[in-house]
Amino acid sequence: MPHQFNLVANGTSAPKYGNVILIGQTTQKNSIHPQSQRACSIVSSTNPYRKISRFNRKFSISGELPYELIPFLLLLKGDIQNSIPDIRHEPSIDLFFFPLTLVGVSTPRSFNCVETHPVVAEAWVSLQRSIVHFRGQPVGTIAALDHSTEELNYDQVFLRDFVPSALAFLMNGEPEIVKNFLLKTLRLQSWEKKVDNFTLGAGVMPASFKVLHDPVRNYETIIADFGECAIGRVAPVDSGFWWIILLRAYTKSTGDTSLAELPECQRGIRLILTLCLSEGFDTFPTLLCADGCSMIDRRMGVYGYPIEIQALFFMALRCALLLLKQDEEGKDCADRISKRLHALSYHMRSYFWLDIKQLNDIYRYKTEEYSHTAVNKFNVMPDSLPDWVFDFMPTRGGYFIGNVSPAKMDFRWFCLGNCVAILSSLATPEQASAIMDLIESRWEELVGEMPLKICYPAMENHEWRIVTGCDPKNTSWSYHNGGSWPVLLWLLTAACIKSGRPQLARCAIELAESRLLKDHWPEYYDGKLGRYVGKQARKNQTWSIAGYLVAKMMLEDPSHLGMISLEEDKQMKPHMKRSASWMC
C-alpha cells in the first residue's frame, strides 16, 4: 500500500533545484537494490529509467510514494533547466536523482533513511558536466572545467585523472563510460609514438587525449599525448598501470569478463608489461624511471625507483595475473609476472620499509662494505639522513620511503605510493597497520586542514633550487612539493577501510567537505596545513570532485573496496625482520 509522505530535499541544495517531482514505485521493501538506496545519482542515458528497470521495478511518476522506495527526489530536465542555467544546454542529462531526508508522517520504524551531504549532489552535477563525448559516446572526463585561466592541457582527458571518475561511475552502476574509455585508450596505444626522431615502445599508453571537432566536416577526431607534448617530454609510466588496474576494477564491479578477454585487451596488457619485464642491465626488480613520469609530472627529484611507480607496478602485475587468459601467450606472460612479483615484494618490503628500528639501524650503518655479507647493501651514508625524519618517525608506525638506489635513499613520505601499497597488499597487514599508525600520529602534518599531502616534507631553499631546478610552480608547500591534493582522499579512504580504520577516513572527508564546494573544487591547496587554495590551482578539477564522491560512496558501502583492492597473496611470504612498528 502506498503511503503519503512529506518530503524535503536534503540540506540546502533543495530550494536551488526547484520543483519537486515525486517518484513511485517499487514492490517489496527488502528487494530494493542497495545501490538504489545509496545512490545519489544523475541518470544520463537515453533511457532515464534505466536504473530502476534494471532492478525490475515498475516506474511511475506520481505524488505518492510507497514507503519501500527509499527517498529519492527526482527532477526532470525541464525543472533543472529552469533552475540551473549552467546546464541548460547539456544534451545528455535527462533526469536527476537526489537523496532525500524523509520527514514525518507514518514513516515505518524500519525505514532506513538516507542522509546524504548536500555537497554530494553538487559533485554529481559537476562530474556529469565534465564528461567528454566522442562520436556520441561518453569516453572520459576532462581534467578541469576552468575557463578562467589558460587551459594548457587541462582540457584533455588524462588517463590517471579518469580513474576516480571511473570508480565513481562503476559504483553508481554506470559502467558504459568506463568500457568506452578502456577501449578508446587501447586503440590509442597502437599509434606510432615518436618524440623527435625517437620511437617509443609499443605498449606505452598516452598521458592524455583530446577530442577535436571539425565544424566544417562535422567530424570528430582524437589527438593523444604520449609525452611528446608534455612539459619535460617524459612518457607517463603510470598510465599503462592505471589502465590495467581499471580494467580489473571494471571486471570485478560488473562481473563482465568478456571485455578483458577480448584478444585486443589481452594483447594490450601484454604490451604494457613487456615494457617493464624485459631483461636488461637491471640488478633490482624495481622499475627505473625518469623524473616526472607519473602524477608528479615535473622535476621533483623522484627519478630512479619512485615508490609511486613501484606500488602501481606491483598492483598492475597482480591485476594482470587475474586478467590474463591461460593460453600460450598468456601463460608465458603470467610466469614472468609471478617471478617478478616475488622478487619485487621482497625488495620493497625489505629495502623501502622504514620504521624507528630500521631508521636507527641506518643511523648506525657502516659504509664501504663489500661482498654478500654487506649489511648496508646500497652504501647509504648515515650523514645523508635528513634531520626532519628523526622527529617525523613515530615510535609506533612506519612507511615505504620515496626511493632507494645506490647511496641514495629519499626519505620523503609519498601518499599515493603508500596507499597503493596497502590496496595491492604490497604492504603486509602489519606494514599496512603501521602506515595507518603513522598517518594517525602525524595527522597535523599529513592531513592538516585539507586532505592530503602529496608528499612530506616540502623541499626548501637550496634543496628546492637544486632538485626542482628553481621551479616556481613547485615552491615549498605548494603543488607537488608538499601541496595538499583533495583527489588523494579516495585513496586514503580505501586504505583506511582496508586496514579497519574507517573513522580516520570519516574525519578526513569531513574536513574536505567543509571547503571543497565553497572553493570550487580546487586541484590542490598550499601551505603546511593546506589552508590556502593553491597558487596556480585549477578550479573545477574533475578528480577532486570524483575523488570526494568515491570516498563518500566507499565509506557508505565498503563492499565497493573490492574493485580496487587485492587480498594478501600468502605465497609472497613477507621476508621481514620483526620490527618496532608492529611490536606493540
3-state secondary structure of 4: coil
Restricting to residues 267-296, name those near ligand GLC by CB under 6 A: 295
Binding string, residues 46-75; x marks residues near ligand GLC by CB under 6 A: ------------------------------
Which CB atom, from 39 or from 234, has the smaller least distance to ligand GLC?
234
Pick between residue 42 and residue 145 the one whose CB is nearest to ligand GLC.
Answer: 145
Q: How far is the CB of 401 from ligand GLC (least distance, A)?
A: 21
Q: What sign results for the dihedral spanned by CA atoms 99, 84, 87, 95?
A: positive
Specify the 3-state DSSP secondary structure of 368: coil
Q: Is 453 in the site for ligand GLC (CB under 6 A)?
A: no
Q: Residue 528's CB: how many other CB atoms inside 10 A?
A: 17
> Least CB distance from residue 485 to ligand GLC, whole Å?
9
Site membership for ligand GLC, residue 445 (CB under 6 A): no
Residue from 84, 185, 190 nearest 132 by CA: 185
CA angle 318, 324, 330 (to 5 degrees): 115
What contacts 9, CB < 8 A, 6 or more positions away?
17, 20, 73, 98, 100, 101
Does 415 participate in binding ligand GLC (rule CB under 6 A)? Answer: no
- Least distance in angstroms from the C-beta of 236 to ligand GLC: 8
158 binding ligand GLC? (CB under 6 A): yes
Is-contact 180 137, C-beta < 8 A?
A: yes
Contact 140, 207 (CB under 8 A): no
**H or E segment and range at residue 334:** helix 328-347
If the CB atoms of residues 225 and 410 are measured against ligand GLC, the closer one turns out to be 225
Residue 71's nearest CA partner among 129, 15, 135, 7 is 7
Nearer to ligand GLC, 40 or 420 (CB): 420
537 counts as binding ligand GLC under rule CB under 6 A: no
Label each residue of 476-529 as H, E or C.
Answer: CCECCECCECCCHHHHHHHHHHHCCCHHHHHHHHHHHHCCCCCCCCCCCEECCC
Of the two residues 143 and 491, which places its CB atom closer to ligand GLC in the complex?
143
**Sign for the pseudo-dihedral over CA of 512, 518, 522, 524:** negative
Nearer to ligand GLC, 295 or 495 (CB): 295
Q: Which one of the spans 73-81, 153-161, 494-502, 513-521 is the region binding ligand GLC (CB under 6 A)?
A: 153-161
Out of 291, 297, 445, 513, which residue is the one contacting ligand GLC (CB under 6 A)?
297
- 143: contact with ligand GLC by CB under 6 A: yes
For ligand GLC, the closer of residues 42 and 207 by Cβ is 207
Q: Could you tell me the smallest distance in angstroms from the CB atom of residue 539 to ligand GLC?
A: 12
3-state DSSP assignment of residue 233: coil
Comparison of 154 and 250: residue with beta carbon closer to ligand GLC = 154
* Binding segment toward ligand GLC, per CB under 6 A, in 33-41, 80-88, 99-107, 158-166: 158-166
Residue nearer to ligand GLC on the CB measure, 67 or 169: 169
Among 68, 94, 146, 161, binds ligand GLC (CB under 6 A): 161
Q: How many residues does the chain have?
A: 584
Nearest distance in Å: CB 244, ligand GLC: 18
Residue 160 touching ligand GLC (CB under 6 A): yes
| Separation CA 49–CA 34 (nearest Å) | 17
> Of 24-32, 157-165, 413-421, 567-575, which part binds ligand GLC (CB under 6 A)?
157-165
Q: Least distance from C-beta 181 to ligand GLC, angstroms?
A: 15
CB of 523 to ligand GLC, least distance (A): 7
Give dist(CA 573, CA 346) in Å, integer: 8
Query: Integer distance in angstroms from the first to the last C-alpha of the chain?
Result: 57
For the bound state, the minimum distance from the C-beta of residue 40 to ligand GLC, rounded and expressed in Å, comes to: 25
Helix residue ranges per DSSP H, 84-215? 118-129, 159-171, 176-189
Q: How far is the CB of 32 from ligand GLC (least distance, A)?
A: 37
State the binding string over 228-247 for ligand GLC (x if CB under 6 A, else -). --------------------
User: At closest approach, how far in Å is the CB of 389 from ligand GLC?
Assistant: 25
C-alpha to C-alpha distance for 394 and 450, rounded to whole angstroms = 22
As measured in angstroms, the least distance from the Cβ of 285 to ligand GLC is: 26
Rounded (10°) angle between helices 542-556 and 502-513: 140
User: Which of these segments, 40-48, 154-162, 218-226, 395-403, binds ligand GLC (CB under 6 A)?
Assistant: 154-162
What crossing angle do the helices spanning 307-323 and 263-277 adopt, rounded to 10°?
A: 140
Phi, psi of 525 (to 5 degrees): -120, 155
Of 9-17, 120-128, 152-160, 500-508, the window that binds ligand GLC (rule: CB under 6 A) is 152-160
Kind and range of the H or E run holding 221:
strand 219-225
Segment near ligand GLC (CB under 6 A); pick from 36-44, 155-163, 459-467, 556-564: 155-163
As measured in angstroms, the least distance from the Cβ of 536 to ligand GLC is: 10
Quick check: 193 and 228 in contact, CB under 8 A?
Answer: yes
| Count of residues engaged in binding ligand GLC, rule: CB under 6 A | 7
Residue closer to ligand GLC by CB (options 188, 504) is 188
Nearer to ligand GLC, 154 or 313 (CB): 154
Binding part of the chain for ligand GLC, among 107-115, 156-164, 184-192, 254-262 by CB under 6 A, reads 156-164
State the Cα–Cα distance between residues 102 and 525, nearest whole angstrom.
36
> Which residue, 230 or 421, has its beta carbon nearer to ligand GLC?
230
Q: How far lies 577's CA from each of 96, 293, 438, 572, 574, in Å?
A: 54, 33, 19, 15, 9
Phi first, then psi, for residue 575 (nearest 5°) are -115, 70
Binding stretches for ligand GLC (CB under 6 A): 143, 154, 158, 160-161, 295, 297
